[in-house]
Amino acid sequence: MSLKVNETFNHSFKPRVIKNSRKTILTISELTKSYNSSRNVLNKVSLEIKSGELIGIIGKSGAGKSTLLHCINGSKKTNSGSILHHQNNGSVQDITKYNSKNIRSWKRCCGTIYQDFCLVPRLDVITNVLMGRLGYESNFKTLFKIFKNKDKEKAIELLDWLKILPHALQRAENLSGGQQQRVAICRALMQEPDILLADEPVASLDPKNTHKIMDALTKVSHKGISVIVNLHSIELVKQYCTRVIGLSQGSVVFDGSPNNLTSNDLDNIYNDETTL
């Protein structure tokens, strides 16, 4: 693909929602999930998620953090409870009732990034970002990397927004971990999601790159997108998140402002495990 990175683009990538006008995006009610009958990995989890929130999910390893994200994005079937999506057109759909076709379109609305970026290492950065259109374009077009000009412009705009445009034509595998994670965020945003889920997105990054990714997620939330991020660091939660949810053995044991998180709450969440 030929690309002039110095070309001028119309920067129309503006916040969609004013911070004070937060609306409910998801209503999760009594969500229960077990992988086998012996115990519930998620136990009657109820949460209301609003636009523009940056929510940190904390809890011990095995508490159910990843499972919760997988249930929200439809990758894992739930046993009972509901996840209502309040759509932009006013209709409300329970995503736990979706068939596989509906789940595919739900994943456009609900982007996910992971600890290990999940980019295609030998493809260049811009093509990796354009792969975010997979949910919209035919397999044929994506296979032969036939992308519309407006999608290329959007990809460039996103890369510029997260300050990685100069690397647009490099292979993804040649970028640092922090740069790759920013590419993964751009790829997720190509779908124009309402929600971005991030499963330990900074677990493999050094402190400088960790802050760059948390800054990027903050920018995403300021666009009105709800960001839900699994984190291990209480410091990061306190510095960046607007809300923190503590999970212990699949149950929500804290839900509130990070400023209100006491050492007693941390004991409940981590069952006395040292966390700082």
Ligand X SMILES: Nc1ncnc2c1ncn2[C@@H]1O[C@H](COP(=O)(O)OP(=O)(O)O)[C@@H](O)[C@H]1O
Nearest CA-CA partner of 175 in 203, 141, 209, 202: 209
- What lies within 8 Å, CB to CB, of 84 at 6+ separation is 26, 27, 28, 29, 92, 93, 94, 95
- Phi first, then psi, for residue 110 (nearest 5°) are -135, 90
67 lies in the site for ligand X, by CB under 6 A: yes
- Residue 81's binding partner among ligand X, Mg ion, none (Cβ under 5 to 8 angstroms by kind) is none
Q: 55 or 175, CB closer to Mg ion?
A: 55
Residues β-bridged to residue 124: 171
20 lies in the site for ligand X, by CB under 6 A: no
- Residue 223's binding partner among Mg ion, ligand X, none (Cβ under 5 to 8 angstroms by kind) is none
Q: 64 or 224, CB closer to ligand X?
A: 64
Which residue in the set 40, 43, 51, 66 belongs to the binding site for Mg ion (CB under 5 A)?
66
Q: How far is the CB of 63 from Mg ion (least distance, A)?
A: 8
9 lies in the site for ligand X, by CB under 6 A: no
Q: Which helix (H) or strand (E) holds 257?
A: none
The stretch near ligand X (CB under 6 A) out of 13-21, 62-70, 126-134, 170-178 is 62-70
65 lies in the site for ligand X, by CB under 6 A: yes
Q: 190 or 198, CB closer to Mg ion?
A: 198
- What lies within 8 Å, CB to CB, of 67 at 6+ separation is 33, 41, 42, 76, 250
The stretch near ligand X (CB under 6 A) out of 46-54, 58-66, 85-93, 123-131 is 58-66
Q: How far is the CB of 59 from ligand X (least distance, A)?
A: 5
Q: How far is the CB of 35 from ligand X (least distance, A)?
A: 3
Residues β-bridged to residue 245: 57, 255
Residues constituting the chain: 276
Q: How far is the CB of 69 from Mg ion (least distance, A)?
A: 8
Other beta carbons within 10 angstroms of residue 69's beta carbon come to 22
The stretch near Mg ion (CB under 5 A) out of 29-37, 59-67, 121-129, 152-160 is 59-67
73 lies in the site for ligand X, by CB under 6 A: no
What are the strands, taking DSSP E only, across the chain? 24-33, 42-50, 54-58, 80-86, 92-94, 110-114, 195-199, 226-230, 243-248, 251-256
Enumerate the H helices of 8-58 as residue ranges: none
- List of residues contacting ligand X (CB under 6 A): 35, 41, 59, 61-67
- List of residues contacting Mg ion (CB under 5 A): 65-66
